[in-house]
Amino acid sequence: MVKTLGFILNESHCDEQSIPIPLKLLEFLEKGRWDAFSEHMLDLREKGLDLVIVNQDISFSAQPLAPGIHLEVRTSIDRFGNRTLVLLQEIWDPQKNQRYCSAKVTNCLAEKESGKAVFLTEELRDLFDSCSLFLCPK
């Protein structure tokens, strides 16, 4: 399942040629991640853990977009590693069924006190699965 967060593109999100500013799209990707995990972030913090981004691979489209259009951030789990959780995120125009941005975001869970990465136990994997994010079909 893909978690979707909608937003409306406005003029402040674009440059003079109506091309979305990459930094603004990064902010929307961040909001999409927070939305996807918001119901369980407190559970992680109570366990003394933080979800930390360790790598982001992002591709942006340089297509002009009209301010006022509705876009969606789609977030799903790509895979689990021993200590990592890889998310796939995309920004889409649902009206045109067109993708404008894609990102592969590698996260780890780190102990709040020491900053050390922890193994993703079955319990932690189940916690992420309960966020209504399932592994992407290959």
List the CATH number of the domain containing 31. 3.10.129.10
Q: Look at the chain and report how many structural domains it folds into.
A: 1
> What is residue 66's predicted lDDT score, i.e. its pLDDT?
85
Its pTM stands at: 0.85
pLDDT of 136 above 50 = no
d(CA 97, CA 79): 25
Residue 80 near residue 71 (C-beta atoms within 8 A): no
Burial label, 116 (beta-carbon count in 10 A; 0-12, 13-18, 19+): exposed
> What is residue 138's predicted lDDT score, i.e. its pLDDT?
40
In this structure, is residue 137 part of a structural domain? no
